[in-house]
Structure 1
Amino acid sequence: MHNPSDKPGVFLRIPLGDGSFGYGRVLEPPYDAFYDYRTTEPDVDLERIASKPVLFRIAIRHSALKPWEPIGWREIEAHLAQPVVQFTQDIMNFRDCTIFDSVGNERAAEPQECVGLEPAAVWEQHHVEERLLDAFMGRPNAYVERLSVRFR
């Protein structure tokens, strides 16, 4: 079964736990981008949403039980079409890191090179909703902290 909100370029309105809304964009599956934009009333102005900075681009497991609302489509801009760069870090040997991207490039890396990159993970929708709300509220996010680079 094909979901129309899987199409790259689709804008998504995301209900957050405090009653506000965040906004995302479908990239090449499984990746989505999430904007630094929050509203108290639903917004459908794609131009305004697309003009906002992107907070993060991550792999998502979309749920059929609680779909985010597709609110429109536009061709993906060049900056969003860039490969998504992530890292992995060995649990037993923290010095063993790998940086890779969504088009298949990969290389060994030092832990400090991974700072600021997204950890390799597939996010559940409710965790993304929490991460967005934490970002908007200026709070650390437990999932991001748990997955961040370790130095020992």
Structure 2
Amino acid sequence: MRHPTAPRTGTQPAIDPRLPLPRKPRSRSKTIVPQTASRRAERRAQSARASASGVFLVVDSLRRASVRELEVHDQPPASRKVVKARANRAPGRVVRIDLGDGRCAYGRQLTGVIVEFYDRVGGAGEAVNLLELVVSPVAFRVWVVDSAFRRGNWELLDVVTLDEDEATRIHYFAKQDIRGRISVHWSNPVSGGSGERAASFEECRDLEIAAVWSREHVEDRLRDHFDGRPNKWVESLRLKP
């Protein structure tokens, strides 16, 4: 059953003259749609500009951070400074070592009787920036006798204070007794304690041997190191499997 007002198939709907003519619906396709598309395009453009600006800021920030990081790595730690000290063997004391052939080497007192020697050759009496010197590659670290720091032996330069890592670092050295038993010797500069524990040959292969070096033996080793030849004292102390 059809609705009473529904038109019949194939005929036009009847119009009651007493009723107002229906208004023709407004077409919004020509007014609203173009404006909406325009707004969307503007929003996309703004978003693209903001995104590009954001990417630029992020890239610029990363670039600046990278530059700062490189600058920090190229500079000595801010915690180190050059100071004077009365004690010949004050922690951080830098020494210049005359190798007797127009060359000199440098070392620095760490904690206890441990001294590090740098893989750097200099000339006798040269001017040297100590803060730059102490970030040089290290050739080796060994125990050294006190007499090497007496005046008339190694030249005593100023002190470059130890940073936190250097002042608290636990050092490990290898030992081997007459029976061939191998152990690791450790020393803690914070607690002042030290000790040994059994270890394997593989574990100690790359460790420095626990031995106190004289001034002359250190100088021999430095000359051999810079000349690229084996050192007889190092070979005599080498661990035996």
TM-score, length basis structure 2: 0.57
Structure with a larger share of its residues in strand: 1
Task: Give CA deviations for 1:2-34 in whole Å, capped at 9, x if unaligned.
Answer: x72210011110111322110000112311111
1:14 to 87, 97, 102: 97
TM-score, length basis structure 1: 0.87
Q: Contact between 1:58 and 1:84, CA under 8 Å: does it hold in 2?
A: no
* 1:2-151 correspondence to structure 2 within 5 Å: 4-41=87-124, 42-63=126-147, 64=150, 66-81=152-167, 82-92=169-179, 94=180, 96-103=181-188, 104-151=194-241
- What secondary structure is seen at the aligned counterpart in 2 of 1:107? strand
Task: Give CA deviations for 1:52-77 in whole Å, capped at 9, x if unaligned.
Answer: 01111111113247421111112113
Where does structure 1 lack aligned partners over 5 or more consecutive residues?
A: none
Q: 1:140–1:77: structure 2 CA closer, same or farther, 3 Å change rule?
A: farther
Aligned residues: 147
- What secondary structure is seen at the aligned counterpart in 1 of 2:119? strand
Q: Which amino acid aligns with 2:145?
A: R
Q: 1:43–1:126: structure 2 CA closer, same or farther, 3 Å change rule?
A: farther
- Deviation at residue 43 of structure 1 after TM alignment: 3.7
Where does structure 2 lack aligned partners over 5 or more consecutive residues?
A: 1-85, 189-193
Q: 1:79–1:135: structure 2 CA closer, same or farther, 3 Å change rule?
A: farther
Structure with a larger share of its residues in helix: 2
Q: 1:91–1:66: structure 2 CA closer, same or farther, 3 Å change rule?
A: farther
Counterparts of 1:98 and 1:84 in 2: how far apart (Å)? 14
Counterparts of 2:165 and 2:137 in 1: how far apart (Å)? 11
Bigger relative contact order (CA 8 A; separation at least 6): 1
Counterparts of 1:5 and 1:44 in 2: how far apart (Å)? 19
State the identity as a percent. Answer: 37
Tell me which structure has the larger Cα radius of gyration: 2
